[in-house]
Chains A and B, each alone.
Chain A
Amino acid sequence: MFMPTRRQSLALGAGSLIAGLIGPRGGANAAIGDTLTIAYNVNLPAFDPTVGPSAVNPTIQAIYRSVFDQYVGQKPNLAFEPGLLTAWGWSDDKSKVWMDVREGVTWHDGSPFTPDDIVWSLQRAGDPKTGNPIQFTWSTIGNFKVDGKRVTADVKSFDPTLFEWMAFLTGYVMPKAYYEKVGAEGFEKKPIGTGPYVVDEYQGNAFLRLKANPKYWGGKPAFNTVVFKFVTDATSRVAEIESGSSDLTLEIPYEEYDRLRVKKGLAGVATPISDIGMIFINSDAKMLDKNVRLAAHHAIDKQAIVKQLLRGYGVPIDTLEAPEYAAFDPSIKVGHDPEKAAKLMQAAGYSPQKPLKTTIQTTRGFKPKDYEMIQAIVGMWRKIGLEAEIEVYEIAKHFELRTTHKLAPLAFYNWGNAIGDPTTSTGFAMFGPSPHSSWKTADVDALIGPLWAEKDEAKRIAGWKAVSKYIAEEGDVIPLLQYVQPIVYKSELKVVPNVSGAMQPTLVSKAG
Chain B
Amino acid sequence: MIATGLLRRLGMAAATLFGVAVVVFVLLRVAPGDPIAMMISPGASPQDIAELRARYGLDLPLFSQFGIWLAGILRGDFGTSISLHRDVLGLLAERLPATLELAIAACLVAVAVGGGAAIAGTLMRRRLGEAALDGAIGLMLAVPDFIWALAFVLIFGVLWPVLPLSGRMDPSVSVPFVTHFYLLESLITFRFAIAGDIIAHMVMPIMALALPLAAIISRILKSALSEAMVQDYVLIARVKGLSEIWLVAGEALRNVIGPTLALTGVQFTFLIGGTVIIERIFAYPGIGNMGIEAVINRDLPLIQGLVLVFGALFILVNLAIDLAVAAFNPRLRHG
Residue positions of A touching B, CB distance < 8 A: 12-23, 25-27, 35, 37, 39, 43, 45-46, 48, 51-54, 56, 128, 131, 133-137, 184-185, 188, 200-201, 203-207, 209, 225, 227, 229-233, 235-236, 239-240, 242-245, 393-397, 399-400, 402-404, 424, 427-428, 433-436
Contact = CB atoms under 8 A, between A and B. Distances in A.
Q: Which of B42, B168, B172, B190 has the most CB of A within 10 A?
A: B42
B42 A424 contact: yes
A244 B165 CA distance: 10
8 contacts: A20-B194, A21-B199, A203-B167, A206-B166, A232-B280, A396-B37, A403-B37, A428-B43
B158 A239 contact: yes
A435 B44 contact: yes
B42 A436 contact: yes
A243 B283 CA distance: 16
B154 interface: yes
Interface residues of B, number: 69
Interface in B148-169: 150, 153-154, 157-158, 161-168
A108 to B, nearest CB: 17
B134 interface: no
A484 B164 CA distance: 30
Interface in B253-304: 279-286, 289-290, 293, 296-298
Contacts of B171: 37, 201, 203, 206-207, 209, 227, 229
Interface stretch (B84-92, B102-110, B215-223): B84-92
Nearest to A18: B196
B161 A244 contact: yes
B153 A236 contact: yes
B52 interface: yes
A399 B192 contact: no
Nearest to B280: A233
A251 B87 CA distance: 32
Contacts of B161: 25-27, 243-245
Given A17-B192, A25-B162, A207 B174 contact: no
Given A203-B285, A396-B34, A399-B34, A229 B166 contact: yes
Contact of B33 (A52, A54, A244, A396): A396
Contacts of B190: 13
B144 to A, nearest CB: 15
A443 B297 CA distance: 35
A16 B199 CA distance: 12
B55 interface: yes
Contacts, number: 223
A45 B193 CA distance: 30
A156 B161 CA distance: 60
A20 B40 contact: no
Contact of A396 (B32, B43, B150): B32
A416 B171 CA distance: 31
Contacts of A14: 192
A179 B43 CA distance: 27
Contact of A397 (B33, B158, B192, B285): B33
A205 B293 contact: yes
Contacts of B193: 16-17, 19-20
B167 A207 contact: yes
Contacts of B333: none
B39 A46 contact: no
A61 B182 CA distance: 31
A430 B315 CA distance: 51
Contact of B167 (A45, A51, A206, A397): A206
Q: Which of B153, B196, B279, B290 has the most CB of A within 10 A?
A: B196
Q: Which of B171, B197, B296 has the most CB of A within 10 A?
A: B171
A52 B52 CA distance: 10
Contacts of B42: 424, 427-428, 434-436
B112 interface: no
The 10 closest A-B pairs by CB, nearest first: A20-B196, A396-B33, A16-B192, A136-B43, A428-B42, A206-B285, A207-B171, A400-B34, A399-B37, A133-B41
Q: Which of A23, A205, A402 has the most CB of B within 10 A?
A: A205
B196 A48 contact: no
Contacts of A43: 293
B82 A235 contact: no
B307 interface: no
A225 B173 CA distance: 11
Contacts of A207: 167, 171
A240 B279 CA distance: 15
B85 to A, nearest CB: 5
Contact of B166 (A51, A128, A240): A240
A464 to B, nearest CB: 15
